[in-house]
Each structure stands twice: as C-alpha cells, then as structure tokens.
Amino acid sequence: MLPRSLRSLTLAGLLLAGGCALHDPALRTPETPLPPDYAWPPLEFTEGQLSPPSSGQAKSAWQPAAPAAKASTPAFAPAAFTPVVGSGDCFAQLSAGGVRFDALDATRGVVNPIKITSDLGGIRYVALGGLPLVVDCRFALTLMRLGPMLRELGVTALHYSGAYVYRMSSKGRLSLHANGLAIDIHEVTVHGEQLTVKKAFAKGLGDSCESNFPPLNRVACHLKRSGAFKEMLTPDYNADHHDHLHLAIAP
C-alpha cells in the first residue's frame, strides 16, 4: 500500500529498463494522495511473484461470453503517425485539433514540454495524484490522434497517476517518463463505467481484440495494434504493471 506521504520507495527485484523504474526523490510528488491501493511510482516485486497477493486481478476465473455476430474493429490507420518536425509544427497540429495547452519553459529531459489544459481527441485525462498532464508535444499529438479510436470503443476518460517524471532505469538509462513520452493509466471510463486496471483487466487472454473480451482488454489490444507506441505494457507483462497500462512512444 502506498504511504499517504508518497515518500520515496526502496525498489527491489526486477526493474524495467525503459518504463516505470526508479523515481528521483528530488522531484515533486503528487500534491494529493493517490487511492491507497495504487502503486505510484509502480512497486517492484521479487522474482517469481506473479502479482501482489491482494491485487484482486481477474485471471482464469473469467470466461468469455458468446462472441458477437461481428466483432467491431475501430478504424485506425497507423500511417497517420507521421514524424513531427519542429515544435512549431507540433504546436500547430495540436491547436488545429482543438487542444488547449501551455508551452513550458525548459524542462529537464523534455524537448518540447507542454501542459495540457483540455481533452485530447475527445478523451478526458484525469489526474489521480494531483499532477498536471505535462508531456512532450509529440506525445500529446499521439494521444490526440488516438482519440477517435478510443471513442469508438466507448472510452470517454483515462485516469492516470503519472506522465512526465524524471526517473532513471536500473541500467542508468532515462525512462521514457523522463522525456515526457509516457503515461501510466490506472482507470478507464468505458460506456460510463469507471473500470480499474487492477481489477477489470483479465490476465492471460493474449492480444486478441475479440468483442466478447473484457472492455479493458479490448482497449489495450487496440492501443497495441495502433502501432503508435514503442512500449505498451499491461498486467500481463509483469507484476510491476499489475495496476496500470504503461504507454510510451519512441524518442
């Protein structure tokens, strides 16, 4: 359970090199506490642990319903993710998409830091720990372009614990969070229901996007199939990600 003060944690065991790894204690932590059953920064577990004992994660007990007559497949073209050249081009594309944001002064590790003050592609991003949504402009543009696909899946909001956090991996490399190119999603509002990754994501179902799969599994599957992310990690990846989806694009 994450202490109310969110003081620095001693992480042990397997460490993810490019994703949710070591937290820099010198950085500002969320001003308001996260729900007590969330791990942020994500906890590490010793080798051999499949998940925390109290995770409540859906596993083999989940049984699929009869498949729908026709599985819905949101239309999305990975080719839409063309490289963005220069901050002006990225800012212009965000503005054209109706995104409101504030350009920030030099931010350690981030090329074009911005603070998002509106939705992204029709999807609300809700902070669980009081941190503003600070990201690199390229990452914001990626999330904006994914909005139509997420809306087709019934998604209206993504609840996150952290996006930009300057942290290092165990191998001494910067994580993609440190570049403003990653976000950790703990809850997803689908068809008006707020679902927690910790309880509503069924482990062990693979990468299928079948329409009769749990909503969070379908959301994760389509995000992965979009081709937008360098890192798309779920509770199936390891115990470190038992309560969130980790999304990150390449530098």
**Looking at per-residue confidence, does 131 or 177 come out higher?**
177
Instruction: Classify residue 174 by its DSSP letter.
Output: B
Span 39-84, pLDDT tens digits: 444 433 333 333 333 445 554 445 555 554 444 555 554 444 554 5
Could you tell me the pTM of the whole model? Answer: 0.71
Q: How confident is the prediction for the chain on average, in pLDDT?
A: 75
Q: Following DSSP, what letter does each residue of 112-129 receive, concatenated?
A: SEEEE-S-BTTBEEEESS
Span 121-143, pLDDT tens digits: 999 999 987 789 999 999 999 99
* Residue 13 Rama label (left phi>0; alpha psi -120 to 50; beta): left
pLDDT > 70? residue 225: yes
Residue 236 near residue 217 (C-beta atoms within 8 A)? no
CA dist., res. 187 & res. 178, Å (int): 22
Those residues with Cβ within 8 angstroms of residue 85's Cβ, 6 or more apart along the chain or in another chain: none
**The dihedral of CA 234, 240, 243, 248: what is its sign?**
negative
What average pLDDT does range 91-111 have in this prediction? 95
* Predicted local distance difference test score (pLDDT) of residue 76: 52
Those residues with Cβ within 8 angstroms of residue 207's Cβ, 6 or more apart along the chain or in another chain: 221, 224, 225
Owner of token pair 């994580």: 175
What average pLDDT does range 94-104 have in this prediction? 96
Residue 218 banded pLDDT, cuts 50, 70, 90 = very high
